[in-house]
């Protein structure tokens, strides 16, 4: 009964948004409140659940998205994005530029959380799209497939690391096996599948589109276009800073508490993004002849452009929290445990269904882990393979209750139908290829 209510809620959400044209945030709020009451959450608790849902998802994403949008806007308007796009086209050729973006997404995605990687790399996608007039989804999907795979399969991302600890798996073996699975998953879900999507008409946000204006700011001062090296370093500085602060504790394990505390502060993604923005303000702004007032104007416009996106993501957080608070994920996992399915496939199935119900890949994987843990001990399944099976299942069919779905839809300016056709199918391909790869490896391991 509970599962039927969840399905009905999701269908009602889609109808409100696509048929009645209700704003996505309001639709999420209405459906979440109705679903909460139907699932037995006391009405007096629902406002608190709503607040928790907004806080849980926005607390970790707001600063990153806002600061990333500011950086991306400056990279675009300064001409740095165009310089990077020209360099990539020269290195890979315009016919193979999506391969360059895909490789970039995989490298960047290993150390970065998905949300951070998305915000940092989307400006590069759009700079290529605008300059060479290429289909946005066709160009961008391979890079985002690479980001998604690293998020679900590979340490040091939170879910794989937590699963490695829970199952007592070897971190290095899990990473190597994860890379082996990631390569075919990215290729099939990225360049191969994206090749069928050239006809999708996207209307990307104009946030990262450079303005065709005279090189002067409102105060009349002239400004220059940054060089390729400056453009590349300024745009990707957050990536290298995050890699640096991640590796330093391993390189210098004997650091004192004071140094460790300082490193913990500077390793926070929001702090890294702020530092990168400060540097870019000088290297792409002041150093190129822009006034501080002009740079701040760019930042204000960036925040205005993403306000609606932030609200939609907050709405998806409300729905996820209602599903989690109602206990539907735990009930579903317990029911599925009785099915006569091999442990690796069962773990994938449980994670996939929980993912479809509540949207969060991390919650889906960790919830499924608690259910299949006794099966791992009893069956002797290789723990690293179970980690990867749950990771693959947790990526299955992202849809309207997942913040990643809305990030992709709103940034690329797609209809719900085209978002399902591109983003949701891409995630499903990644998930299924991951499962097949795990089952194949289990023959030899």
For the stretch 89-126, pLDDT in tens is 889 988 899 999 999 889 878 766 687 778 878 888 99
pLDDT for 251 equals 78
Q: Which residues of 126-164 are buried (b: 16+ CB within 10 A; e: fewer)?
A: bbbbbbeebbbbbbbbbbbbbbbbbbbbbbebebbebbb
**Residues 360/313, Cβ–Cβ less than 8 Å:** no
Within 13 Å, how many C-alpha atoms sit on residue 128's CB side? Answer: 29
Span 359-374, pLDDT tens digits:
889 888 988 887 788 7
Residue-level pLDDT at 95: 85
Beta carbons within 10 angstroms of residue 203's beta carbon: 10
pLDDT band at 220 (very low <50, low <70, confident <90, very high): very low
Which range of 16-20, 169-173, 193-197, 333-337 scores highest in mean pLDDT? It is 193-197
Mean local confidence (pLDDT), 337-362: 88
> For 142-200, what is each residue's pLDDT tens digit?
999 999 999 899 987 878 988 998 888 998 899 899 999 999 999 999 999 999 999 99
94 versus 349: the higher-pLDDT residue is 349
- Asked whether residue 266 carries a pLDDT value surpassing 50, the answer given is yes
79 half-sphere exposure, CB direction, 13 A CA radius: 17
Quick check: 46 pLDDT over 60? yes
What does the mean pLDDT of the chain come to?
A: 88
Of the pLDDT bands very low, low, confident and very high (cuts 50, 70, 90), residue 216 is low
Angle formed by the axes of helices 136-153 and 383-393, nearest 10°: 140
Report the predicted TM-score, pTM, of the whole model to 2 decimal places.
0.79
Half-sphere exposure for 218 (CA within 13 Å, toward CB): 7
Task: Give the per-residue pLDDT at 229.
Answer: 93
SS3 222: strand
Categorize the per-residue pLDDT at 222 as very low, low, confident or very high, splitting at 50, 70 and 90: low
Res. 217: pLDDT tops 60: no
Integer Cα distance of 365 and 383 in angstroms: 14
- Is pLDDT at 215 greater than 60 in this prediction? no
CA distance 375 to 204: 46
Residue 222's φ and ψ, nearest 5 degrees, are: -85, 155
Could you give the 3-state DSSP secondary structure of residue 193?
helix
Closest residue by Cα to residue 392 from 402, 384, 380: 384
pLDDT score, position 238: 85
Tokens of 43: 């009405």
Helices (H), 110-157: 114-132, 136-153
Residue range 282-302: average pLDDT? 94
Please give the Cα distance from 406 to 27 (Å, whole number): 13
Sequence spans of domains, the chain: 2-442
Q: Which residues contact 99 (CB under 8 A, 6 or more apart)?
A: 92, 142, 191
Strand partners, 216: 222
Peptide bond into 156 cis (omega under 30): yes
């Amino acid at each position: 009964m509970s599962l039927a209510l969840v399905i009905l809620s999701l269908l009602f959400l889609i109808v409100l948004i696509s048929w009645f044209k209700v704003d996505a945030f309001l639709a999420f709020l209405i459906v979440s409140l109705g679903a909460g009451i139907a699932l037995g959450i006391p009405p007096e608790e629902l406002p608190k659940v709503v607040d928790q849902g907004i806080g849980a998802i926005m607390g970790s994403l707001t600063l990153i998205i806002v600061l990333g949008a500011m950086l991306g806007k400056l990279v675009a308007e300064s001409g740095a994005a165009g310089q990077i796009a020209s360099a990539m086209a020269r290195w890979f050729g315009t016919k193979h530029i999506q391969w360059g973006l895909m490789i970039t997404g995989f490298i960047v995605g290993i150390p970065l959380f998905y949300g951070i990687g998305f915000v940092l790399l989307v400006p590069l996608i759009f700079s290529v799209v605008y300059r060479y007039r290429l289909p946005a989804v066709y160009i961008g999907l391979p890079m985002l497939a690479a980001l998604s795979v690293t998020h679900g399969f590979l340490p040091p991302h939170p879910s794989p690391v937590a699963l490695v600890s829970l199952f007592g798996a070897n971190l290095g073996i899990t990473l190597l096996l994860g890379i082996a699975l990631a390569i075919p998953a990215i290729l099939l879900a990225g360049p191969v599948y994206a090749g069928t999507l050239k006809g999708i008409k996207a209307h990307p946000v104009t946030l990262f589109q450079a303005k065709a204006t005279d090189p002067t700011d409102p105060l009349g001062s002239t400004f220059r276009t940054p060089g390729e090296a400056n453009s590349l370093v300024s745009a990707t500085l957050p990536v290298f800073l995050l890699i640096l602060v991640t590796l330093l504790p391993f390189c210098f394990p004997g650091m004192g508490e004071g140094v460790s505390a300082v490193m913990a502060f500077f390793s926070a993604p929001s702090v890294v993004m702020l530092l990168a923005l400060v540097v870019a303000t000088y290297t792409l702004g002041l150093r190129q002849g822009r006034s501080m007032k002009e740079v701040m104007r760019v930042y204000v416009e960036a925040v205005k452009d993403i306000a609606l996106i932030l609200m939609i993501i907050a709405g998806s957080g409300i729905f996820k929290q209602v599903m989690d608070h109602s206990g539907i994920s735990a009930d579903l996992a317990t029911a599925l445990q009785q099915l006569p399915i091999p442990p690796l496939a069962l773990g994938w199935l449980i994670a996939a269904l929980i993912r479809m119900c509540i949207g969060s890949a991390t919650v889906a994987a960790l919830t499924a882990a608690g259910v299949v843990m006794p099966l791992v001990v009893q069956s002797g399944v290789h723990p690293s393979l179970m980690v990867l099976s749950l990771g693959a299942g947790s990526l299955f069919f992202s849809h309207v209750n997942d913040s990643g779905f809305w990030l992709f839809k709103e940034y690329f300016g797609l209809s719900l139908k085209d978002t399902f056709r591109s983003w949701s199918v891409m995630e499903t391909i990644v998930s299924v290829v991951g499962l097949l790869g795990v089952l194949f490896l289990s023959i030899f391991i």
